[in-house]
């Protein structure tokens, strides 16, 4: 990890084409020009305000820090490549924060902002006082904002989850509403990370004895196996559909998330099938098949399955 040199001011860094530093009153005029120039592009997913930097300056604190990315060659323009906010900083055992950002024209799309974000992450993970000493940062991005998601993936962020109605923001439909967001994260122990690094899903599995109906739908009238698959968000592989035992466990083996296996196998044959599918047989819950299972029972079994793979 590259950190600020000992004689550099805290929370500043310089790269080949940009430098990163905290905001100052000298940035107010360039910021207004940069946001105004970029306003139409930014408005798809944010609420750009060319005149809010004085408020940002007043709000700087250990729990909310802004970094301004400046072009080393301003090319006759305002010189401001972008702004990066590190907000909701919690220290102690958590040492985590959220990161948000805007890039500005005419520099967007030319690799300057990604250099600035990389330098900012160096500062976020560097030890205090020259850095923030954090362990984890999270970027929350609307699924339609694929350019932003591609930016963080290019730095090695991994997709960690999905948050419903996460923020009240504009979207590509042109109106403000509660927007779902994908959650991407980076850990200090992974930084610097390889671009677009693969990140495997957590694989979970369980076996439900019997071969009941495999149809998805309302919990009433469906098998425990299909209800569990729906609750866990993983595939159902049922011997009522796939007659070949070898195929059943081959489907489980190639699934990146695992699955619920509904079959009548027991003993050695079941253990061998699970082992071929990449699971430790003793760690895979085996449940008795049932139909018309209550919602409460489905959730109870699903939580136990997740716990078995923790």
> What CATH number is attached to the domain comprising 41?
3.40.630.30
Question: Are 73 and 98 part of one and the same domain?
Answer: yes
pLDDT at 7: 58
Q: Looking at the structure, tell me whether residues 181 and 213 fall in a common domain.
A: no
Pairing between β-strand 258-263 and β-strand 236-238 as defined by DSSP bridges: parallel
At residue 8 the predicted structure's pLDDT band, cuts being 50, 70 and 90, is low
pLDDT at 171 over 60: yes
pLDDT of 216 over the 50 cut: no
Domain count, the chain: 2
- pLDDT-above-70 percentage for the chain: 94
Is residue 51 in some structural domain?
yes
Q: What is d(CA 219, CA 167) in angstroms, rounded to the nearest whole number?
A: 31
Looking at the fold, whether 218 and 270 belong to one and the same domain comes out as: yes
Note whether 242 and 136 are same-domain residues.
no
Q: Are residues 160 and 244 in the same domain?
A: no
Task: Identify whether residues 97 and 127 lie together within a single domain.
Answer: yes
Residue 128 and residue 82 share a domain: yes
Residue 196 within any structural domain of the chain: no
pLDDT at 199: 81
Beta-carbon contacts of 300 under 8 Å, excluding residues fewer than 6 positions away, are: none
Residues 43 and 148 reside in one and the same domain: yes
Gap between the Cα atoms of 25 and 32, Å rounded:
12
Residues 149 and 257 in one domain: no
Picking from 190, 218, 251, the residue at the C-terminal end of a domain is: 190
pLDDT digits over 114-148, tens only? 999 999 999 999 999 899 999 999 999 999 999 99
Q: Which residues contact 75 (CB under 8 A, 6 or more apart)?
A: 106
CB neighbour list of residue 71: distance below 8 Å, 6 or more residues apart = 17, 18, 77, 79, 80, 81, 107, 112
Q: Whole-angstrom Cα distance, residue 144 to residue 124?
A: 27
Residue 195 within a domain: no
277: containing domain = 204-308
Q: Which of 190, 221, 241 is the last residue of a domain?
A: 190
Domain membership of residue 268 (yes or no) is yes
Q: Does residue 213 share a domain with residue 115?
A: no
Domain boundary among 160, 190, 220: 190
How far apart are alpha carbons 54 and 100 in whole angstroms? 18
90 and 118 co-located in one domain: yes
Position 18 in a domain: yes
Partners of 18 in beta bridges:
71
230 vs 34: CA distance, rounded Å: 47
> What would the two tokens of residue 79 be?
């010189």
């Amino acid at each position: 990890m590259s950190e600020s040199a000992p004689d550099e001011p805290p929370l500043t860094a310089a790269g080949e084409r940009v430098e990163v530093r905290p905001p100052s009153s000298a940035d107010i005029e360039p910021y207004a020009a940069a946001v105004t120039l970029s306003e139409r592009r930014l408005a798809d997913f944010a609420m750009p305000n060319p005149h809010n930097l004085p408020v940002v300056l007043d709000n700087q604190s250990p729990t909310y820090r802004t970094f301004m990315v400046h072009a080393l060659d301003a090319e006759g323009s305002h010189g401001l490549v972008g702004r990066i906010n590190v907000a909701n900083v919690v220290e102690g055992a958590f040492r985590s924060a959220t990161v948000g950002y805007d890039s500005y024209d005419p520099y967007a799309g030319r690799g300057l902002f990604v250099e600035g974000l990389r330098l900012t992450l160096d500062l976020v993970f560097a030890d205090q006082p020259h850095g923030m000493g954090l362990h984890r940062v999270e970027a929350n991005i609307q699924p339609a904002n694929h350019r932003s998601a591609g930016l963080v993936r290019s730095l090695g962020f991994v997709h960690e989850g999905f948050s419903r109605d996460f923020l009240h923001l504009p979207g590509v439909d042109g109106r403000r509403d509660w927007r779902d967001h994908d959650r991407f994260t980076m850990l200090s122990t992974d930084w610097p990370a390889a671009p677009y690094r693969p990140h495997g899903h957590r694989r979970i599995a369980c076996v439900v004895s019997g071969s009941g109906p495999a149809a998805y739908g309302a919990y009433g009238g469906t098998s425990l196996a299909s209800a569990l698959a729906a609750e866990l968000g993983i595939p159902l592989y049922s011997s009522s559909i796939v007659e070949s035992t070898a195929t059943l466990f081959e489907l489980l083996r190639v699934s990146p998330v695992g699955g619920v296996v509904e079959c009548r196998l027991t003993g050695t044959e079941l253990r061998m099938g699970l082992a071929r599918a990449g699971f430790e047989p003793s760690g895979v819950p085996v449940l008795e098949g049932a139909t018309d299972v209550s919602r409460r029972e489905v959730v109870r079994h699903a939580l136990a399955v997740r716990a078995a793979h923790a």
